[in-house]
Amino acid sequence: MRVIRKILHPALLVAVSLYAAPGIADTAQVIDAEGNRMTFEYEGVQLRVTMAQQTSYMLVNDQNMYVVADNDGQIMVIDLQQAMSMFGGMAQSAVPDLAEVRVDSLEATGRKETIAGIEGEIYNLSFVDHNGQAQQDELVLSPDARAVGFRDAMHRVASTVGDMVDQRDAANLLQTRLNDSEMGVLRYGKDMRVASITHNA
């Protein structure tokens, strides 16, 4: 994909200002199934995601998503919405599904699990995937405010990408269930586990 070089867009300046001005933001360390570690920093509609061992990072606000990379001292800004629009329908096939196509049930098991120092309850999730196949997975959910805040930060990423590839409905299905129950996700099967959530200045 061709990199799009831009003068900092006003919307991007708003996002960048979160990390230049005093304030309190939550920071979540997340580990995926391959052991890769990601850092999510978020406050309000502003979100920054950084992969371990990488100098580039992603910024999300209520309007768009950007990747900021340092290429030998030259800052390069990739406007993902503009980049995806260049590829039309190819963009949708290139982005993995953001959530289950249809959630059939989300049932508490009565078992507890503590993750990142937060006690959660284990739930069984039954859903139909994008191939129409019935699937099941295990979630650890918690009403703790830190888990709920992380849930909303993750949803902003899914919704922003979903808007770009016309998958907003898919991104909203599980989120709706979690909103109704006022809970956030601490673990999603073996795919994602929160390692820590802290408040930072």
Domain match, 109 and 129 both: yes
- CA distances from residue 34 to 55, 73, 109, 197 in whole angstroms, order as listed: 20, 30, 27, 20
Domain match, 84 and 107 both: no
Average of per-residue pLDDT values in the chain: 75
Beta-carbon contacts of residue 97 (< 8 Å; ≥ 6 apart) = 129, 130, 167, 170
> Where is the domain boundary, 53, 78, 94?
94
User: How confident is the model at residue 124, as a pLDDT?
Assistant: 94
Domain match, 66 and 146 both: no
- What's the rounded mean pLDDT across residues 37-47? 87
Domain match, 22 and 108 both: no
High-pLDDT (> 90) share of the chain, %: 23
- Would residue 5 count as lying in a domain? no
User: How confident is the model at residue 109, as a pLDDT?
Assistant: 96
Domain match, 163 and 135 both: yes
Domain match, 151 and 66 both: no
Domain match, 193 and 107 both: yes
Domain match, 84 and 106 both: no
Q: Give the tens place of pLDDT for each residue, 101-129.
A: 678 888 999 999 999 999 999 999 998 87
pTM over 0.75: no
> Where is the domain boundary, 94, 123, 144?
94
d(CA 98, CA 100): 7
Domain match, 77 and 155 both: no
**Side chain identity at 92, as an amino acid letter?**
Q
- Would residue 159 count as lying in a domain? yes
> Where is the domain boundary, 94, 122, 141?
94
Cα–Cα–Cα angle for 53, 10, 50, rounded to 5 degrees: 15
Domain match, 110 and 49 both: no
Domain match, 72 and 154 both: no
Domain match, 167 and 185 both: yes
- Kindly tell me if the per-residue pLDDT of 167 is higher than 70: no
Backbone angles phi, psi at 183, to 5 degrees: -130, 155
Please tell me the total count of domains within the chain. 2
- Would residue 1 count as lying in a domain? no
- Would residue 118 count as lying in a domain? yes
Q: Give the tens place of pLDDT for each residue, 124-136.
A: 999 887 788 888 9
Q: What is the domain range of residue 67?
A: 10-27+36-94
- Under the banding of pLDDT at 50, 70 and 90, the label for residue 21 is very low
- Would residue 3 count as lying in a domain? no
